[in-house]
Structure 1
């Protein structure tokens, strides 16, 4: 069952809501080791106290939604590293519990969003930025179904279906969401006006618009410059609240495991994003609590 706080969808109908920032960069800032292919999932397994501390840092910065450390937790990837199915299920449950504890300790209302990352995330090779894995919609649905069920059993407020690179994977995820009836947001990763796999954005957003489970749709884990064109494409096909939580403009090199960062990134045009329909706004990779606090001070229409 969802946690006992007001539905996020109701808040989004009234005002803008502030998301948290990148979990992995905050864990790294806390001195955690994210090497080995499991990324934040490794910290979830080995140092759950640090995951809760990261969530708490974002809540203290004013974040109203905390996204769990389950993005890269998949049964197959964890089995390859010695975790049996029951252990992986327990980790998925733990991810929700840690975020919920941080939310409950906050001095303002905070929702917990259980992260459902793309199939490519568990490959740990940057595949989520390419998509088109060679799997059918049915195969992708079979991959996502058990971990969505496990996350829902832990009682988050909403599912964060995020960093989705193509419409095929979105279709698979929406199929599973329809089976569960659970509320979710759906967020694509985009570049140059198309999905990361190169598909047209209007068709991708239209898929989400047709799903009664989707409470918001938009983009994440992308260059800030790609946000506004994507929001406008989404607004053309849906009346749902939109969302945006981009990176800082850096580009991830999966081969070297490094970020390439622009020297002087421009400020985010929050007013324009809000005018285009964005109501759920925060940050993704390399956006920390200090950035979220600054966003919160600038975000239009944030409070009731």
Structure 2
């Protein structure tokens, strides 16, 4: 963890990207894989439910993505909040323990993966030096809308009652617990509006990091509805500009956004920041909050998804992955496209 802090956070992130060959690969859809392995996620906690009921599946999905080539695995804490756990009847102490567990499971998966690699390559490394590929643990912090569990993170409408102080109070303890649990960085995901980006939550995040003395860096990724705007209709230029102004933020980008918008969004973000740009789109399907399901719209299959990677890289992105409805096959395809060799 300290390796990311000393000598400048953004510089260290760039060094890691260079060590990975000029790119880094994030994992893919987490809930999608949990459901494929038999998990029932029809619950306000969504994928965080498995931290309680089936932590072995969480570890297994992390390993699936490491096997597919990911160098960054995101914890199962996107919808994990102390408030959400308390609403399920758990104590505050139990909720805090589950947040720590989300990081612990990712750390365990990394250790297991490294151990497997050492065994698998034992003959190869007998006469050569084996270098482990860098693997980072990104502790996921979903937006306030994720906690509401009503699809708000896909619309960005929180109502007038939500203020910067509301958001700071909501996120402060969760951020501190995750940061103190051994994660390498904090991933603030699916940010849907300027409220969370410009005058309020973006600053709230940064203030919480600074007020609590948290040293590990963060990335900010926005959920967008087209090539120019986040889902609320606010400009991606404005949102990315605020992210660029924070010394705690080491990468800026978009997630849970249709693949057809990514190229334009990269171009927009590059206009206002020199920080590494990350992109991990969804499959292109549309989420219907009322029925908690995804429906075909302009969805693309995994082969089509992967075919865009070269264009996104040429546009200026250096960190790639997948979000909702993508799978280890998607990540394997991205890895092959980047490395230009079979995995």
TM range (shorter): over 0.9
Q: Higher Cα Rg: structure 1 or 2?
A: 2
Q: Which has the higher helix share?
A: 2
Who is 1:129 aligned against? 154
Who is 1:247 aligned against? 282
Who is 1:27 aligned against? 34
Which of 180, 195, 214 lines up with 2:249 in the alignment? 214
Q: Residue 9 and residue 138 in structure 1: after superposition, are their counterparts in 2 closer, same or farther (change >3 A)?
A: farther
Show the 5 A alignment for 1:26-105. 26-105=33-112
Q: Residue 44 and residue 126 in structure 1: after superposition, are their counterparts in 2 closer, same or farther (change >3 A)?
A: same
Who is 2:217 aligned against? 183
Is 1:166 the counterpart of 2:159 in the alignment? no
Secondary structure of 2:89's match?
Answer: coil
Secondary structure of 2:272's match?
Answer: coil
Structure 1: distance between partners of 2:243 and 2:154: 19
Is 1:296 the counterpart of 2:331 in the alignment? no
The runs of 5 or more residues in structure 2 that have no matched partner are 7-11, 118-132
State the Cα deviation string for residues 179-237 of structure 1 (Å, max 9, x = none).
32430110000012201111011110000000111111000001011111111111000
Secondary structure of 2:313's match?
Answer: helix
Query: 1:169 Cα shift?
Result: 1.5
Query: 1:12 Cα shift?
Result: 2.3
State the Cα deviation string for residues 136-160 of structure 1 (Å, max 9, x = none).
1221111111100010110101111
- Scaled by the length of structure 2, what TM-score is found? 0.83
More divergent stretch after superposition (180-189 vs 244-253): 180-189
The runs of 5 or more residues in structure 1 that have no matched partner are none
State the Cα deviation string for residues 10-48 of structure 1 (Å, max 9, x = none).
222561101100110010010111112111111111110
Q: CA RMSD in A?
A: 2.1
More divergent stretch after superposition (11-20 vs 227-236): 11-20
- Scaled by the length of structure 1, what TM-score is found? 0.94
